[in-house]
Amino acid sequence: MSLLLSPLDALAERVGLARASELLAVALTHSSYAAEHECESNERLEFLGDAVVDLAVADLIVTSYPQLNEGSGSSVRSRVVNESSLADAATRLELASAMRIGRGVKKEHGLDRPSLLADAFEAVVAAIYLENGYDAAKSFIHETLGEAVADAASRPGDGDPKTRLRQWSEANGLGAPDYEVTSSGPSHDATYTALVRIARRPVGTGEGRSKKSAEARAADDAWGRRDA
């Protein structure tokens, strides 16, 4: 790959799209930039990409892990198709280098937000789907998320973060965890922060674009600290 390629062109090569792909440019346009420049944001592509990612990951689970039943397969999928996992995939692809974000979001180091990166990943998937078809999008998803699926499939009983934390907390006689969620930023681009307490003691925090994702990240944080 030429060192003279722009970040957008270099990314296009990595994901198998034409350098002049207008859909890829839209997929990397955050709503904050779109509002400032009166252009299309990646929100519609994100909506489509979310469905494509779900389908492709479910396809991989069913075809490659026949030992998983519906319940354990759903658990594996939820541990892969989530904000944290998709943001990690976006980071590996260096999506941030080609993102277009507004001045305010840039000032607030918005490119570090897992929610922004996860949304961009889904939007890029939609661009691949619309330009190259489902098979190309599925291959891309299996390549970028396959390792995460394999890891989750090897531990299907771990469950989702909130359930896992609640079961541990109750088994230790501490009662169910309690979550407190606050939001910041404009309504179209709100960031949610969750604080989880066990037996009234703060044990973890998490941030996400939705209350659900913030609580899940807080539960993950608390799980990692439980023996501290």
Q: Which amino acid is at 142?
A: H
More confidently predicted of 90 and 156: 90
Report the chain's mean pLDDT, rounded to a whole number: 90
Burial class (CB in 10 A: 0-12, 13-18, 19+), 197: middle
Q: What is the pLDDT of residue 168?
A: 87
Q: Is residue 145 within 8 Å of residue 80, measured between CB atoms?
A: yes
What confidence score (pLDDT) does residue 14 get?
93
Average pLDDT over residues 193-203: 95
- Angle among Cα 209, 211, 215 to the nearest 5 degrees reads 105
pLDDT at 1: 44
Could you tell me if 204 and 196 are in contact, meaning their C-beta atoms sit under 8 angstroms apart? Answer: yes
pTM: 0.73
Which pLDDT does position 30 carry in this prediction?
A: 94
Annotated active-site positions, please?
A: 50, 122
| Residue % of the chain over a pLDDT of 70 | 96
Domains and CATH numbers, the chain: 7-158 (1.10.1520.10), 161-225 (3.30.160.20)
228: confidence class by pLDDT, cuts 50, 70, 90: low
Q: Phi/psi of residue 27, each to 5°?
A: -60, -25
Q: Supply the pLDDT for residue 110.
A: 79
Q: What is the pLDDT of residues 31-48, one digit of tens each?
A: 999 999 999 999 999 999
* Sheet strand arrangement including 178-184: 178-184, 191-198, 201-208
Find all residues with CB under 8 Å of 112, minimum gap 6, and list them.
none
What average pLDDT does the segment 95-103 reach? 93
pLDDT in tens, 114-134: 889 999 999 999 999 999 999
pLDDT of residue 190: 80
Q: What is the pLDDT of residues 178-188, one digit of tens each?
A: 999 999 887 76
Q: For residue 160, what pLDDT is reported?
A: 72
Q: What is the mean pLDDT of residues 103-107?
A: 88
pLDDT of residue 56: 98
pLDDT at 84 over 70: yes
